[in-house]
Structure 1
Amino acid sequence: MAQQLVERRGARAHDLTRTARMAAYGGFVFGPAATLWYGVLQRSIRIPSRPNVEILARVAADQCVFASTNLFVFLSTMAVLEGGDPRKKLQSTYVEALKKNWMVWPVVQFTNFMFVPLEHRVLVVNVVSLGWNCYLSYLNSMPSGAHIANATYPPDV
């Protein structure tokens, strides 16, 4: 989606290896980790007398622990799979991506934890992740520091 809808690369310029890296990360790292994580949140953060506080605590834990760690692992993994330097990738993109993450995901997760049963939360995240992963793929494909040199890139989510 990032290559065709955002970057408009066309079929001939489509990077299948990039698509495979993203699919592998989603299937082998993010999917299993998220499934486990939502169970941990459900069991570990319990404030029965204050359901809204419980949801806020889960959102805070999700964003401070899981989202920040997942973003770190994603950018590092992509750099390694691409033969690049994970430190450089993290230095050039992590903070900006984390800021964008915090613009999108707290609202999604609050809604998710408030209204969606545990067994369907990963599905909700996967649907929203279609757009989010386009952003991450786009961000990851940019040369180091390119988003700083041109403030319009990566695009605001």
Structure 2
Amino acid sequence: MVVPAATTVFGRLWERYTLALVARPLLVKGSTASFIFFVSDSITQQLSTSRDNQQNTYDLARAGSGAVFGVVATGWLHYWWNFLEVAVGKRIPVVTHRFTNTVTKVAIDQLVGAPIYIFTYYVITHGGKEYIASQQESNSIKATPSTLFRETCNRAAEMLPPTMLRHWTLWPAVHTLNFYYNPLHHRVLVQNLVLVGWSAYLSHLNNGGLLMTPTEEMEVAETVEIIRRESMRSSSSGPVTQHAEIYIKGGGRATPMAASRE
């Protein structure tokens, strides 16, 4: 690929980026995505702390697990999108028209690639955080890595449907434009730019207790009902609202709130 000479500062930076992208695509794409996930999660933590008036405690493991996912996901997208580019149009000759070709690639990507991407996100970010937390526990009984992995996969499977519903409100449109107008080697960059906001949103859902599995939603409903009945016995409506709000803000758990692709 020939990169035209640039005359402006931005143009020269873009030229260097493009040359590096051609020479080392996985390294450049992976480091960019890793940086974006790390920064986005760090910003999300700071904003959440400020909004909830909590003590400023930075969770490096949480941000680090997001950075690890950025590297893994970029490798997956690099080969997956290369496969789509070759398969659609050559293996499926009926979609030789440019727009039809684009829509077909986006449809396959959203129905096959996106669920794998999001499932992996939850396994790596949630599983990594839980593993580190288990190693820091003082008691002698600790969950084995295989047990944590199995529990994390089960949770990721439950989180996948509600996350996909949110995912499909944004990314099909983004990738239709991305696949139609941008060359293959720049598509991951476009996704990474949108990921600045989306990864922060996913991290907020994943760690803020705002996106719960169906099982957790049932537990929240049952606990709120218990709180309501106990409060009615005291003939006071105040505790109902107060305790229920505290529980829901705590992510449907007995502890305060600590804690969805592309």
TM over 0.5: yes
Which amino acid in structure 2 is aligned with residue 24 of structure 1? V
Contact 2:49 2:56 in 1 (8 A): no
Contact 1:76 1:90 in 2 (8 A): no
Give the direction of change, closer, same or farther, for the CA distance of 1:58–1:141 in structure 2 (3 Å limit).
same
Residue 4 of structure 1 pairs with residue 46 of structure 2: yes
The percentage of counterpart residues that share the same residue type is 27
Q: Distance in 2 between matches of 1:116 and 1:32?
A: 19
Residue 34 of structure 1 pairs with residue 77 of structure 2: yes
What is the aligned counterpart of 1:77 among 113, 121, 124? 124
Q: Distance in 1 between matches of 2:116 and 2:156?
A: 15
1:8 CA drift (Å): 3.8
Return 5+ residue gaps in structure 2 as ranges: 1-42, 131-147, 221-247, 252-262
What is the aligned counterpart of 1:15 among 59, 76, 93? 59
Q: Distance in 1 between matches of 2:187 and 2:55?
A: 33
Contact 1:76 1:89 in 2 (8 A): yes
Give the direction of change, closer, same or farther, for the CA distance of 1:56–1:8 in structure 2 (3 Å limit).
same
For structure 1, which segment, 51-60 or 71-80, has the greater mean C-alpha deviation from structure 2 after superposition? 71-80
Which amino acid in structure 2 is aligned with residue 3 of structure 1? Q
1:89 CA drift (Å): 4.2
Q: Distance in 2 between matches of 1:59 and 1:138?
A: 26
TM-score normalised by the chain length of structure 1 = 0.82
RMSD between superposed Cα atoms in Å: 2.4
Higher relative contact order (CA 8 A, sep 6+): 1
Which amino acid in structure 2 is aligned with residue 124 of structure 1? V
1:66 CA drift (Å): 0.8
Q: Distance in 1 between matches of 2:55 and 2:190?
A: 29
Which amino acid in structure 2 is aligned with residue 100 of structure 1? R
Which amino acid in structure 2 is aligned with residue 58 of structure 1? K
Residue 115 of structure 1 pairs with residue 181 of structure 2: yes
- Match runs of 1:3-152 below 5 Å: 3-5=45-47, 7-9=48-50, 12-27=56-71, 29-46=72-89, 47=93, 49-83=96-130, 85-86=151-152, 87-91=154-158, 93-143=159-209, 145=212, 148=217
Q: Distance in 1 between matches of 2:96 and 2:104?
A: 13
1:11 CA drift (Å): 8.7
Q: Distance in 2 between matches of 1:40 and 1:25?
A: 21
Return 5+ residue gaps in structure 1 as ranges: none
- The structure having more radius of gyration, on CA atoms, is 2
1:74 CA drift (Å): 1.2
Which amino acid in structure 2 is aligned with residue 36 of structure 1? Y
Aligned residues: 148
Q: Distance in 2 between matches of 1:11 and 1:20?
A: 20
Q: Distance in 1 between matches of 2:189 and 2:116?
A: 20
Which amino acid in structure 2 is aligned with residue 62 of structure 1? D
Q: Distance in 2 between matches of 1:51 and 1:74?
A: 31
Name the SS of the counterpart of 1:103 in structure 2: coil
